[in-house]
């Protein structure tokens, strides 16, 4: 069969189009990447005037803010890291695989909740409530881990049937009602304990005995709220690192007689260590940069205090509140941009470090011959 | 119960119990998430449900009518007190009243109590006595029927009438029908009527503007502003993000530099959003905006046109903020396309442009879409940068109207997230505004969650597709 | 690079063809991936309207050589090459040579079928649309002709607009052949086209190759020696990037001139 004839092709046009397109894409691509670079350039540029006529005195106005940022981030990390890492360890290594497929996305969705919403609940609901029920709050914070241990102990001495119905691999879910009950118990008990130990009013005792003021919105509230916001970031990355530990390593350890927990502690964690560490670093980066939660839940008082019951003011909050009012070119303007530069450098460095660490980890996993 | 033969050593016990703490971490996180969402849903949606009005007679003989809100222990004594929302700010000076439970003699729930939302003064709670309209006078049931009928008509068609109302203490007030936004007799409503009133109020919330200093009305301008900004932002970020991803993945030589650039782009996703706001303020608003003002809008100076925050600068700033998200998502999509497809196209004589446009990009479209959706989800929730570049407490005009050039890029606009912040922290009657703040928060969280779930869904669909092919 | 006798005493003299019968001419072609040599001083001619097979152990460079013929290596930045390849007398690396036109004239079928995620019709039409606009009727005709030549028309004529990914492996490979045929190439390069397919599909592909000989020049890379013996007219045996022996298929398989060739064909490890 003879083939039908082909039309004359429009060759030259195609090549021209290709050249133009490649040029445009290159220009666009490089342009975009340069625009991203421009952020750093701008920040540095606008900070330069400080070098000439800035002085230590004006920089001093930033130090309580820097302290506030660190304090808020520390509080958030103290609250978030144990929970997020514990959740990651459980999720990667103890939870049933089917459950993990459902729960992991849910926990990762926590990340999507806007900071405004968390800040609003923290500032308008949590803060007043905690102020009225400080003893309850502290009791709940202490009682939660203990009650988890209690659940474990009860489980071990329970009958085999109970253990079958409520296995450890599903504990992430059925512990929810247990914790809810325990929290209710603690809230009920707290007033009695407060009466017995603190003469009925913990806040008054703190004030009279230790001179500790209690501000409605303070570092404790910020810690809990921002901690909640940061948990999913840490959890997601740490869980990925732990779950990707080559299965043969864990099996090898268990074949030698180690319990699951020992295998986790002695094999998985050291192997995934860099990934876990980088997850925490990224969480810290987020905590340092979060603005709305701090604006709404910290009281915005620039204090140099170490007390968790006092307010604070962070760099990011100050920028958000003061920069619109600052006249461009003025001292405040440059100072605040310097604060933004500090935040930018800190998070950028932390994230780069974390990414480098994670890439090394990926290479290590490949060498160990790993996939699940 | 069986007993352990002997208590195990501490480390062994630790080894047994630590997993439980880890499990509890997951449970606690889930619990916190569930509590948050339930709280938002209950307080947010619950606000619209027609609440029962109570007529409380105190021991002192005084009566008050209102909606019971919550109870709290008395500040300086034993016992509890209850907070009532009584409305009638014009009469009492205050819409709220705390009543100690011990002071209450009787509580009644009569059917004829009404709740009226009025234009300037917010809610009125009391009874309807008479209605005068067009020379006619209605009383009792007839008055009710008249008002109910009138309210069922659209606003422009309602008759002119005057209502005579009685408050709890016997105070009489007159109210023109024109100023009445809503009329309800909640105690007399059947469950069906309550559901329909509930959905009606939710619809009002979504479609109307705020009233009475954000204690009433809705969030429509904020929704509109957010949507407008998000659309503009997507229009900007999609082509540039996709272009950058194509350049990185398909055109640039794959070497150390490209790897560094990739790391840099990913890191930028972690830079605090406020920093982007600072950049937007300095470069877009003061820099470019200021220049535009001095070139084109000199007559308007010193009042800035483009030299202040507005829709355009806000969209550009958020586009820059979400650029890394789109780039990363698109790159992931491009990387997942097997080289065999590219080679197949090239082997048939396609130029690189043809290979990209006819084979690669269509295959990468779901990934690009995922990136844009995630970008939109982020933009809907970010408030901090907007505080610097363009959002307004109460925008005097909408950014889109029928005045040329129809899309006003220099105007300030309202944003759901900022509206939430502003109402919760800068409102006058924060107590009254809180229920609406909850509703706004619920709306915002729902939007963000739905967008994220769509992106997750797309990703799963993508993974399954790739799996089928290989 | 000097003549072959001194460096490789075991290599046979090169088989060359005249301009009338020669389609592809490879002259002292070297190719290296990031410095590591993959093809060494290759010289051979591929005759027109015949099937030429490249055989040899894994990694000997047969696929690399194939991909050099349609300049697919241009996509890879780390590749360097020297020497010449001529298509119908024209140097394919010459600046005047239009690469996209070269690739239209030299079609390629890959080891694993790679149809585009489009309909069967659009797969075959892909190359045609690149060439420019043509009336739909004409395009339909060409597509029918291509699918018939690829022995696929009867199986898909009722579902041209269904996705190509729904076809079986053997059908997908024939579809790939059809879309390559649609742009009417002079040469068809086949890189182990049947290695991923079941035996029945393999036989269909082999029959197709035999039928296409009258219209095209075919170059087949295969690790299946029986296939080479069944289907090809000329066979080139490559080892470690070098051409070891090249001649008519019958002669190479029944009476190889070099011991190395005989070892490979009979399956001895060295």
Task: Locate the domains of chain A by residue range.
Answer: 54-131+217-367
Low-confidence ranges of chain A (pLDDT < 70): 1-10, 54-58, 369-372
Q: Is A16 on the interface with C (CB under 8 A)?
A: no
Across the A:C interface, residue pairs with CB atoms under 8 Å apart total: 37
Question: What residues in A contact B39, CB-CB < 8 Å?
Answer: 121, 125
Q: Summarize pLDDT for B164-205 with one digit per residue, the tens.
A: 888 888 888 888 888 888 888 888 888 888 898 898 888 888
Q: Is A299 within 8 Å of B284 (Cβ atoms)?
A: no
Q: Residue B468: its pLDDT value, please?
A: 47
What's the average model confidence in pLDDT over B207-236? 83
Nearest chain A residue (CA) to B434 = A124
Cβ–Cβ of A103/B26 closer than 8 Å?
yes
| Residue of A25, A154, A313, A337 to mutate for B, most B C-beta atoms under 10 A | A25
Task: Answer yes or no: is pLDDT of C17 > 80.
Answer: no
Structural domain boundaries in chain B: 47-198, 220-469
What is the predicted ipTM? 0.88
Beta-carbon separation of B359 and C77 below 8 A? no
Chain C neighbors of A17, CB-CB under 8 A = none
- Confidence tier at B156 by pLDDT (50, 70, 90): confident
Q: Is the whole model's pTM more than 0.80, yes or no?
A: yes
pLDDT on residue B469: 46
For residue A57, the model assigns a pLDDT of 67
B94-149 pLDDT, tens per residue?
A: 888 888 888 888 888 888 888 888 877 778 888 888 888 888 888 878 888 888 88
CB contact under 8 A, C138 and A4: yes
Among A106, A114, A172, select the one facing B381 at the smallest CB separation: A114
| Residue of chain C whose Cα is closest to the Cα of A5 | C142
Under the banding of pLDDT at 50, 70 and 90, the label for residue B4 is very low
Banded model confidence at residue C270, pLDDT cuts 50, 70, 90: low
- Tens of pLDDT, residue by residue over B234-253, are 999 999 999 999 999 988 88
CATH superfamily membership of B220-469? MetI-like (1.10.3720.10)
**Whole-number pLDDT of residue C4:** 33
Q: What is the CATH number of domain A54-131+217-367?
A: 1.10.3720.10
In tens, the pLDDT along C57-110 reads: 887 888 999 999 999 998 888 899 999 999 988 899 998 888 999 999 999 999
**A-B contacts (CB, under 8 Å):** 316
CATH superfamily of the C22-266 domain: P-loop containing nucleotide triphosphate hydrolases (3.40.50.300)
Q: What is the 3-state secondary structure (H, E, C) of chain A?
A: CCCCCCCCCCHHHHHHHHHHHHHHHHHHHHHHHHHHHHHHHHHHHHHHHHHHHCCHHHHHCCHHHHHHHHHHHHHHHHHHHHHHHHHHHHHHHCCCHHHHHHHHHHHHHHHHCCHHHHHHHHHHHHHHHHHHCHHHHHHHHHHHHHHHHHHHHHHHHCCHHHHHHCCHHHHHHHHHHHHHHHHHHHHHHHHHHHHHHHCCCHHHHHHHHHCCCCCCCCHHHHHHHHHHHHHHHHHHHHHHHHHCCCHHHHHHHHHCCCCHHHHHHHHHHHHHHHHHHHHHHHHHHHHHHCCHHHHHHCECCCCCCCCCCCCECCHHHHHHHHCCCCCCCCHHHHHHHHHHHHHHHHHHHHHHHHHHHHHHHHHHHHHCCCCC
What is the per-residue pLDDT for A182?
Answer: 92
Question: Using the beta-carbon criterion (under 8 Å), do C98 and A15 form an inter-chain contact?
Answer: yes
For chain A, say whether C259 makes contact (Cβ under 8 Å): no
Place B215 in a pLDDT band, splitting at 50, 70 and 90. Answer: low
Percent pLDDT > 70 in chain C is 93
How confident is the model at residue A371, as a pLDDT?
A: 47
C-beta atoms of C145 and A8 within 8 A: no
Look at residue C5 in the predicted model and tell me its pLDDT: 32
pLDDT digits (tens, 9 = 90+) for C228-251: 999 999 999 998 888 999 999 999
Looking at the complex, does the CB of residue A105 fall below 8 Å from at least one CB of chain C? no
Residue B218 has pLDDT above 70, yes or no: yes
Average pLDDT, chain B: 84
Is the pLDDT at B216 greater than 70? The verdict is no
Residue C2, pLDDT score: 22
- Residues of A with Cβ-Cβ distance to B276 under 8 angstroms: 39
Supply the pLDDT for residue C175. 95
Q: What is the pLDDT of residue B212?
A: 64
Q: What percent of chain B has pLDDT over 90?
A: 25
């Amino acid at each position: 069969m003879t083939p039908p004839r082909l039309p004359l092709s429009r060759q030259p046009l195609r090549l021209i189009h290709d050249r133009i397109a490649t040029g445009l894409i290159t220009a666009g691509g490089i342009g975009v990447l340069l625009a991203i670079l421009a952020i750093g350039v701008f920040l540095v540029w606008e900070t330069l005037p400080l070098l000439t006529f800035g002085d230590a005195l004006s920089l001093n106005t930033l130090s309580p803010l820097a302290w506030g940022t660190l304090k808020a981030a520390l509080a958030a990390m103290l609250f978030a890291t144990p929970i997020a890492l514990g959740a990651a360890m459980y999720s990667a290594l103890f939870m049933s695989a089917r459950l993990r497929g459902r729960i992991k996305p849910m926990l990762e969705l926590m990340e999507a909740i806007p900071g405004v919403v968390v800040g609003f609940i923290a500032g308008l609901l949590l803060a007043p409530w905690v102020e009225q029920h400080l003893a309850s709050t502290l009791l709940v914070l202490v009682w939660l881990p203990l009650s988890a241990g209690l659940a474990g102990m009860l489980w071990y001495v329970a009958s085999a049937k109970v253990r079958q119905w409520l296995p450890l691999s599903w504990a992430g879910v059925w512990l929810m009602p247990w914790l809810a009950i325990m929290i209710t118990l603690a809230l009920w008990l707290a007033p009695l304990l407060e009466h017995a130990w603190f003469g009925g009013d913990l806040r008054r005792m703190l004030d009279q005995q230790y001179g500790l003021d209690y501000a409605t919105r303070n570092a404790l509230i910020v810690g809990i709220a921002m901690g909640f916001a940061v948990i999913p970031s840490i959890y997601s990355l740490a869980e990925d690192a732990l779950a990707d530990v080559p299965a043969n390593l864990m099996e090898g350890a268990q074949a030698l007689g180690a319990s699951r927990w020992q295998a986790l502690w002695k094999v998985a964690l050291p192997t995934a260590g860099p990934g876990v560490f980088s997850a925490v670093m990224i969480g810290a980066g987020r905590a340092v940069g979060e603005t709305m939660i701090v604006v709404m839940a910290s009281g915005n008082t620039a204090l140099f205090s170490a007390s968790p019951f006092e307010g604070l003011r962070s760099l990011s909050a100050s920028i958000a509140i003061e920069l619109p009012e600052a006249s461009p070119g003025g001292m405040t303007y440059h100072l605040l941009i310097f604060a933004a530069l500090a935040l930018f450098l800190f998070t950028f460095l932390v994230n780069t470090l974390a990414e480098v660490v994670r890439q090394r980890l990926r290479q290590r996993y490949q060498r160990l011959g790993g996939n699940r | 119960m069986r007993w352990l033969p002997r208590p195990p050593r501490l480390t062994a016990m630790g080894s047994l119990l630590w997993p439980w703490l880890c499990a509890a971490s997951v449970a606690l996180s889930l619990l916190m998430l569930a509590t948050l969402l339930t709280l938002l849903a209950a307080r947010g949606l619950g606000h619209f449900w027609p609440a029962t009005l109570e007529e409380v007679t105190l021991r002192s003989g005084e009566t008050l009518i209102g909606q019971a809100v919550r109870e709290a222990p008395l500040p300086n004594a034993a016992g509890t007190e209850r907070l009532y929302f009584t409305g009638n700010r014009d009469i009492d000076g205050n819409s709220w009243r705390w009543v100690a439970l011990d002071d209450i003699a009787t509580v009644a729930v009569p059917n004829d109590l009404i709740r009226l939302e009025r234009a300037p003064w917010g809610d009125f709670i009391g009874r309807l006595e008479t209605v005068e309209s067009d020379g006619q006078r209605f009383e009792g049931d007839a008055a009710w029927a008249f008002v109910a009928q009138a309210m069922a008509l659209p606003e422009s068609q309602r008759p002119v009438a005057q209502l005579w109302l009685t408050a709890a203490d016997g105070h009489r007030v007159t109210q023109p029908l024109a100023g009445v936004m809503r009329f309800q007799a909640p105690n007399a409503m059947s469950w069906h009527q309550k559901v329909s009133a509930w959905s009606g109020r939710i619809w009002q919330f979504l479609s109307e503007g705020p009233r009475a200093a954000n204690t009433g009305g809705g969030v429509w301008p904020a929704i509109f502003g957010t949507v407008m900004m998000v659309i503009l932002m997507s229009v900007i970020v999609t082509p540039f993000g996709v272009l950058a991803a194509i350049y990185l993945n398909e055109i640039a030589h794959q070497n150390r530099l490209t790897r560094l650039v990739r790391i840099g782009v990913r890191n930028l996703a972690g830079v605090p959003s406020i920093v982007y706001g600072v950049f937007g303020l300095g470069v877009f608003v003061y820099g470019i905006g200021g220049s535009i003002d001095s070139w084109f809008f000199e007559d308007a100076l010193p009042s800035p046109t483009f030299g202040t925050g507005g829709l355009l600068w806000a969209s550009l700033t958020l586009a820059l903020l979400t650029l890394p998200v789109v780039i990363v998502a698109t790159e992931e999509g491009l990387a997942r396309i097997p080289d065999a497809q590219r080679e197949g196209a090239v082997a048939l004589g396609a130029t690189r442009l043809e290979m990209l446009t006819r084979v690669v990009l269509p295959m990468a479209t779901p990934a690009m879409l995922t990136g844009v959706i995630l970008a939109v989800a982020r933009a809907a929730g970010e408030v901090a940068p907007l505080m610097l570049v363009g959002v307004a407490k109460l925008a005097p005009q909408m950014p889109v109207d029928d005045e040329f050039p129809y899309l006003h890029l220099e105007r300030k606009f309202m944003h759901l997230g900022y509206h939430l912040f502003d109402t919760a922290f800068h409102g006058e009657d924060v107590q009254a505004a809180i229920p609406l703040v909850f509703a706004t928060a619920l709306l915002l969280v729902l939007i963000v969650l739905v967008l994220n779930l769509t992106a997750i869904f797309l990703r799963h669909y993508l993974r399954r597709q790739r799996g089928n092919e290989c | 690079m000097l003549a072959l006798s001194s460096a490789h005493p075991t290599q046979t003299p090169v088989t060359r063809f005249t301009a009338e019968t020669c389609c592809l001419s490879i002259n002292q072609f070297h190719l290296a991936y990031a410095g590591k040599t993959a093809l060494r001083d290759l010289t051979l001619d591929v005759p027109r309207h015949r099937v030429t097979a490249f055989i040899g152990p894994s990694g000997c460079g047969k696929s690399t050589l194939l991909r050099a013929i349609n300049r697919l290596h241009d996509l890879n930045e780390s590749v360097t090459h020297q020497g010449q390849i001529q298509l119908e007398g024209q140097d394919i690396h010459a600046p005047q040579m239009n690469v996209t036109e070269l690739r239209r004239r030299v079609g390629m079928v890959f080891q694993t079928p790679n149809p585009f995620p489009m309909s069967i019709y659009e797969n075959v039409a892909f190359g045609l649309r690149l060439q420019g606009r043509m009336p739909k009727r004409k395009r339909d005709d060409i597509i029918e002709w291509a699918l018939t030549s690829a022995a696929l028309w009867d199986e898909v004529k009722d579902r041209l607009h269904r996705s190509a990914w729904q076809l079986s492996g053997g059908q997908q490979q024939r579809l790939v052949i059809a879309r390559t045929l649609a742009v009417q190439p002079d040469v068809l390069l086949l890189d182990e086209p049947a290695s991923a397919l079941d035996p029945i599909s393999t036989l269909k592909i082999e029959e197709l190759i035999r039928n296409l000989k009258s219209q095209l020049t075919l170059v087949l890379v295969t690790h299946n020696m029986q296939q080479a013996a069944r289907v090809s007219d000329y066979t080139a045996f490559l080892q470690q990037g070098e051409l070891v022996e090249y001649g008519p298929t019958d002669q190479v398989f029944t009476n190889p001139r070099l011991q190395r060739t005989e070892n490979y064909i009979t399956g001895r490890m060295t």
